A and B are shown apart, each in its own frame.
Chain A
Amino acid sequence: MMASTDLAALWTSFELASLTTALLLVLCTPLAWWLANADSRARVLVDAVVSLPLVLPPTVLGFYLLIMLGPTGWLGRLLHAVGLPSPVFTFSGLVIGSMLYSLPFAVQPLRDAFQGVGRRALEVAATLRASPLDRFFSVAIPLASRGAVSAAVLCFAHTLGEFGVVLMIGGNIPGRTRTASIAIFNHVESLDYAAAHRLSATLLATCLLLLLSVYTVNRRLRAAIALA
């Protein structure tokens, strides 16, 4: 069987992926909605900024976070001034890093799904006395649900596999910031290939099961909603 620290690392990975996904879904839905509907020039800029984590190597992202959040960085100093501790080497720090790292994986499918809803359905809802907020929840969200599932799955999987950012700002603390990917790397580094194999295989198998179940549920949901 696997060492308890490895099990803990798996658990930390799943915790991180779940929390990151949940937070991103909540925060990115309004952003994606705005991107799908806005006409302003700012939209192009925001689109580009949101896509930045795609092109930035994760280690670079992690490195900049390390510097910015450290006691010499502007963000770290700001937090210190407000009385908050530095998020470096904490689970919260990992969540922040992961949210930045997986941001485009949440925003883009959601934005595309909202765009797919189209103007007409919302106009119809307006003529049926639905206020903008009402239209968002009663029409836009249900019609965009497929995109939301995509976003959640992509986000979760992407965060599970995250390495560079965690490596940089995690500090490898067992039970707190040692994720499965870090643990596997460590096993390889210390030439314990057997442990590396075990942990990798478990991670792979768990992910596969998770993805299969999500896609099955999604298919059933789709049949029920029968999106044209």
Chain B
Amino acid sequence: MTARLSARAVVFTLLGLLGPLSLPGQAAVADELSVAVAANFSGPLEKLAAQFEQASGHKLLISAGSSGQLYTQITQGAPFDVFLSADSDKPRLLEAAGLGVAGSRFTYAIGTLALWSAKAGIVDAQGKVLKSGTYRYIGVADPGNAPYGAAAQQVLRALGLWDTLNRDKKVILGENITQTWQFAATGNVDLAFVALSQIIAADGSISGSHWLPPQSMYAPIEQDAVVLVHGSHRGAAQAFVSWLHHDPLATAAIEAAGYRLAGL
């Protein structure tokens, strides 16, 4: 008992000494937030993290992965503070299971599907290339576990192409949206359904050739965030989530990255 108390005393003393030292000019203690983020949003999140740190002093420790992996880890007790998913299902499941803080879930971005080829001139602006079938392989993220894949499947079904393409063995399923993009970027598939955020450069330009299917062709890709119960920095986590949802700098950055915002 005594030993434990002394250990605690040491730790608290150290924290007390170090806390003020790490943030000259800041009154509050700065936290390091563990954020689990779906791979397709990890790039934009890096930029947002810099802005958030400037604004609040809190740092973000980003763990990117596929939503499925991250979900599994969270259900097994991984100590993340916030989960930014690529879909809305997993955060909803976490909330229902009591792993997500009630009421903290919201849609932070709405994904835009894009049909893309690394080569110019392959994909026309109306997407007619799909019906022409003049390609060997088309990459699609696995609809079973990637929301962009499910969306792509919806588009192809709407065009009546899903079954024929599979029958002709032209569909290459990527494990996640990142791998799908890799297949297209290395030219191993002629074209692929990827996230707009993956192909849009910082200045807004897009290399290669692309087509943005009309939003009516697929269910909106709502990407939800949720604060996690087992995180250790609840206050900072909620500050981050609130900033992400409402701060004009944050929302502008999200849009610039190729996403849409949920109706406020």
Contacts and interface: CB of A to CB of B under 8 A. Distances in A.
B68 A172 contact: no
B142 A189 contact: yes
A63 to B, nearest CB: 8
B246 to A, nearest CB: 31
Interface stretch (B1-9, B15-23, B180-188): B180-188
B144 interface: yes
Residues of A contacting B: mostly: loop
B49 to A, nearest CB: 26
Nearest to B67: A189
A94 to B, nearest CB: 14
A172 to B, nearest CB: 4
A191 interface: yes
Interface in A129-182: 167-168, 171-173, 176
Interface in B43-72: 66, 68-69, 71-72
A189 B137 contact: no
Given A71-B187, A72-B187, A191 B68 contact: yes
Contacts of A69: 188
Contacts of A191: 68, 71-72, 145
Interface residues of A, number: 22
Contacts of A40: none
A6 to B, nearest CB: 13
Contacts of B145: 186, 189-191
A171 B187 contact: no
B175 A66 contact: no
A67 interface: yes
Question: Which of B72, B142, B187 lies at the interface centre, i.e. has the most chain A CB atoms within 10 A of its CB?
Answer: B187
Given A173-B172, A189-B69, A71 B144 contact: no
A213 to B, nearest CB: 34
Contact of A188 (B68, B173, B182, B186): B68
B131 interface: no
Given A67-B186, A69-B188, 4 more contacts: A66-B188, A171-B183, A173-B173, A186-B175
| 9 closest residue pairs by CB, A with B | A189-B68, A189-B145, A190-B145, A171-B172, A190-B144, A71-B187, A70-B186, A172-B173, A70-B188
Interface of A: 66-67, 69-73, 86, 88-89, 167-168, 171-173, 176, 185-186, 188-191
24 contacts: A66-B186, A66-B188, A67-B186, A70-B187, A73-B186, A88-B188, A89-B172, A171-B137, A171-B183, A172-B172, A172-B175, A176-B169, A185-B175, A186-B144, A188-B68, A188-B72, A189-B66, A189-B68, A189-B69, A189-B175, A189-B176, A190-B145, A191-B68, A191-B72
